A and B are shown apart, each in its own frame.
Chain A
Amino acid sequence: MAVGLLNGPPLTVGRLAGRLARLLSLLVAVAIGTFVLLAASPIDPIEAYVGADSASIGTEQRDQIAERWGLDEPPLQRFTAWAGNVVTGDLGTSQVFNEPVIDVIADRFMASLSLLVLAWLLSGVLGFALGLLAGARRGTWLDRTLTWWAYTLASAPTFWIGLLLLYVFSVSLQWTPVCCAGPIGALPGEISLLDRLHHLILPALTLSVVGISPVLLHTRQSTIETLASDHVAFARSRGERLPGLVLHRVARNAAAPALMLQFAGVGELIGGAVLAEQVFTYPGLGQATTTAAMRQDIPLLLGIALFTAILVFIGNLLGDLAHRAVAPQTREQGGDASRSESRGELRDLAREQVTP
């Protein structure tokens, strides 16, 4: 990727400014969209906060709660006040956690990071390797099994996979823990790195499932296409055989869509984390998102929406750069102006992936 940064078309100041402007407009759109959706949501935050204790909280007390949260003002006023604060760097206070939104996101994201990275690597490496394998063995039982498996995974809900893994590995086999980021009853200082890894395995495996299928299927497809191309035929005629062919002639070509998808899939990964973390009681950003959504915690949800939008944007940017570094033809053609057809398709594909 570093090579790509150096060798690709120079990232001029103008291009950077363009990217930033795009990011800014994206954030504004996300903020407005999220707020409108939340304002139209059927959940009443005060009713959700009061919960089961409903009847012992009188009207006067409800008014007090609304006042504390600033809910006694009309939505437009609340939004402009919030937006004004955001410009000064203040994302507000989470209603659920009673802490500054920025602290909640920072705390929770640190917990999610290891999970996301592990799952991301797992899905990328597994998806790519298996995709190459399936493509190279096109039409065999191995290819058919892998393809079938990929379609099954793609259509299986994350939480269902999580529950399945939980019952097989944690309950029946008892290889993995049932919950949390550390052993039950252990203080943070007592938790070893091995403990943390041990608690990370199942959630990461569950989460990686989200990304494996698209990478696998696209890698398989481009492997098949490249194997049928002229330069591979030429290499074949010179006596090169399958494993070498795939490694030397195909892998690099197939890596371009895989990388692109992998980076563009960051959004989906975060979406999947919401479910995976819920099943395994993993205290990350996903779990916080669920709690915030159930309780209609608008400041926190807006904060999380902005934060994930930035992450997805960065993911797409890195995908672009990585793609440029790996796929020589796009580098040679250079610039955003003239893209190859396949690249255009890829971008469409990538765009489909950003929605979490």
Chain B
Amino acid sequence: MTPRLPLASRRNRLRRTGTAAVLALAASTLVACSSDSEATSGEKPTELRLAIGGESEEGYDPTTGWGRYGAPLFQSTLLTRTADLGVENDLATDYSVSKDGLTWTVDIRTDAVFSDGEPVTSADVAYTFNTAAKAGGLTDVTGLDEAVAIDEDTVEMRLVEPRSTFVNRLISLGIVPEHAHAGQGDAYAQEPIGSGPFTFVDWQKGQQLIVERNDDYYGTKPDFERLVFVFTDEDASLAAARTGEVDLVALPSSLATDEIDGMELEAVTSIDNRGMSLPAVADEGKKSESGAPIGNDVTSDVAVRRAINLVIDRQGLVDGVLEGFGSPATGPVDGAPWYEPRSAIDDNDPDGAVAELEQAGWIDSDDDGVREKDGVKATFNLLYPAGDTLRQGLALSVVDMVRPAGIEITTEGVSWDEIDKRLHTDAVLFGWGSHDPTEMYNLYHSSMAGTDLFNAGFYSNEIVDEHLDAALAATDPEVANQHWKDAQLDTDGNGFTAPADAAWAWLVNLEHTYFVDQCLDLGELHIEPHGHGWPITSSLTQWRWDC
């Protein structure tokens, strides 16, 4: 036994140093805790901590796309969206569009200053738009020919062609100061200056962004002196919420079923949707510019597309796949001001689907459960990006739902690369949802067929094209909205939605789930676009602490 002793004592020494390490650790935890409680003690915390993702790795420069949805924080925009996606003035006091739709004249307020004390001028606005048009970033200002400052507080934007959706650039493009942006290279993006509700304090890349209230802001001043955005992954975000280190956290609905002490679940309506594109032309051996084959002999029959739309139980998908966090989708823009409510159908209707199919000649003559017509079996593939469990769940449920109608769908989880090659011959489970109705144009206008992922099914209807063109060319927002609605379903019964051409089978709109501190009142939340997390900041200045 003797020889063991020294080793044992060595081990004890090891254990002692281990204990010392744990003690040191515990001590530092205490230090950390005490400093934390100092920061958050008192009735009303001055610092708000959010784990909602949204780090802009390339920096905070609006001309390359920063702040295109949600709040640009540091900068302010000419117009903003209201909670129901209406439009109201921000930096602009008024705007008008010329009769030919080519010239947009914007009047700006004169009391706005950048956080370095310089006033916001019409020259800054013109500079911002002209720079963004050439920047090759994530804000598409390609429709702009040039922006010119006419006088102190008026800017004229001259467009290449009439485009009603240009209003979205006035809404999403934060104005940068020419004096601090021009010739600065990428330095501006690292330390932005603007006229927004917050000023930049510090950005620890990959970790957190710290901002402070801008007391010179012309609009409603935020309730919080300081905001900290923590850029954690889902799991660390959930951990941070459980330990009370963050006040607001964005989590996928699959993680939203747990309870977290002191926090409430908030499910925010969105137009973040999921739906199936269905090839609308028959297979005639044609190929797209990139060499991908086009056409599907089953889904090209409008009766099949309508039957699919009729038979799917969308509420069932919401309950079964989304855990209730969503709503049935009738089109790509549900709930937006340019949404046509008449396009909604009564789904979960197998009888209606069967009637539609039989009338079109789809009969199950060999009694194998799948209908045929002219020797073609009612069967096709449905692709979804592999690894997207939500879309996988939806796809598998859809297969079960259409089977009773005699349609057989085979699902395949594949890479986007593979989808790129097959999206014109197979159905694809896409997700879209933008605050910009340009998306509708891209998805359904015949000129967009085969461009990127747009109009994957080569859908084409002259009347729909006319409505979409008219919507883009309109100079009045109300008129534009009416044309957008007509494209979905006009009074003559033409349109791309389920009651007419049923070009797609839209399935669900997601609800974005957040855990929010019980004491944090988020006010009226905006309908969110595709993209969960950062968009919730669009109403940031209205948030209040109510405990």
Contact = CB atoms under 8 A, between A and B. Distances in A.
Interface string A175-186: 111111111110
B451 interface: yes
In this complex, the interface size class of chain A, counting residues with CB under 8 Å from chain B, is 35 or more
B243 A59 contact: no
A60 B142 contact: yes
B233 interface: yes
A188 B210 CA distance: 11
Contact of B138 (A53, A129, A246): A53
Q: Is the interface of B mostly helix, strand, loop or mixed?
A: mixed
Nearest to A41: B417
B215 interface: no
Contacts of B136: 61, 64-65, 67-68
B19 to A, nearest CB: 13
Contacts of B58: 96-98
B243 A65 contact: no
Interface in B356-398: none
Contacts of B345: none
Contacts of B233: 278-279, 281
Contacts of B243: 170-171, 174, 178
A319 to B, nearest CB: 26
B69 interface: yes
Nearest to B415: A42
B239 A195 contact: no
A281 B231 contact: yes
Interface in B106-144: 134-138, 140, 142
Nearest to A61: B140
A242 interface: yes
Contacts of A53: 68-69, 138, 434, 529-531
Interface in A135-181: 136, 163, 166-167, 170-171, 174-181
B235 A56 contact: no
Contact of A179 (B25, B236, B432, B529): B236
Contact of B439 (A55, A107, A280): A55
Interface in A238-288: 241-244, 246, 278-284, 287-288
Interface stretch (A12-20, A25-33, A44-52, A211-219): A44-52
A291 interface: yes
A347 B28 CA distance: 43
Given A175-B25, A183-B36, A56 B438 contact: yes
Nearest to B2: A241
A132 B240 CA distance: 39
Contacts of A194: 28, 31
Nearest to B168: A56
A58 interface: yes
A197 interface: yes
A283 B205 contact: yes
A233 interface: no
B246 interface: yes
Nearest to A48: B416
Contacts, number: 192
A99 interface: yes
B228 A185 contact: yes
Interface in B400-433: 415-418, 420, 432
A115 B530 CA distance: 36
Interface in B452-467: 452-454
B188 to A, nearest CB: 11
B239 A166 contact: yes
A201 interface: yes
Interface string B52-86: 00000111000010001100000000000000000
A53 B230 CA distance: 22
Contact of B453 (A54, A99, A241): A54
Contacts of A181: 204, 207
Residue among A65, A98, A99 facing the most chain B CB atoms (10 A cut-off): A98
A197 B69 CA distance: 37
Contact of A52 (B10, B31, B47, B530): B530
Contacts of A62: 452
A49 B138 contact: yes
Nearest to B35: A183
Nearest to A283: B206
B49 interface: yes
Q: Which has the most chain B C-beta neighbours within 10 Å: A194, A243, A291? A: A243
B425 to A, nearest CB: 19
Q: Which 10 residue pairs of A and B lie closest in terms of their CB atoms, listed nearest first?
A: A283-B206, A42-B417, A55-B439, A241-B3, A68-B136, A52-B531, A64-B136, A98-B58, A61-B140, A42-B415
25 contacts: A44-B416, A51-B531, A52-B529, A52-B531, A53-B138, A53-B529, A54-B432, A58-B442, A59-B452, A60-B140, A68-B137, A97-B205, A98-B58, A129-B14, A177-B245, A178-B240, A183-B32, A184-B246, A195-B32, A197-B28, A201-B25, A246-B7, A280-B236, A281-B232, A281-B236
Interface of B: 2-4, 6-7, 10, 14, 22, 25-26, 28-29, 31-32, 35-36, 39, 47, 49, 57-59, 64, 68-69, 134-138, 140, 142, 168, 186, 189, 201-202, 204-208, 210, 226, 228, 230-233, 235-236, 239-240, 242-243, 245-246, 415-418, 420, 432, 434, 436, 438-439, 442-443, 451-454, 529-531
Interface of A: 42-44, 47, 49-62, 64-65, 67-68, 96-99, 107-108, 129, 133, 136, 163, 166-167, 170-171, 174-185, 187-188, 194-195, 197-198, 201, 241-244, 246, 278-284, 287-288, 291
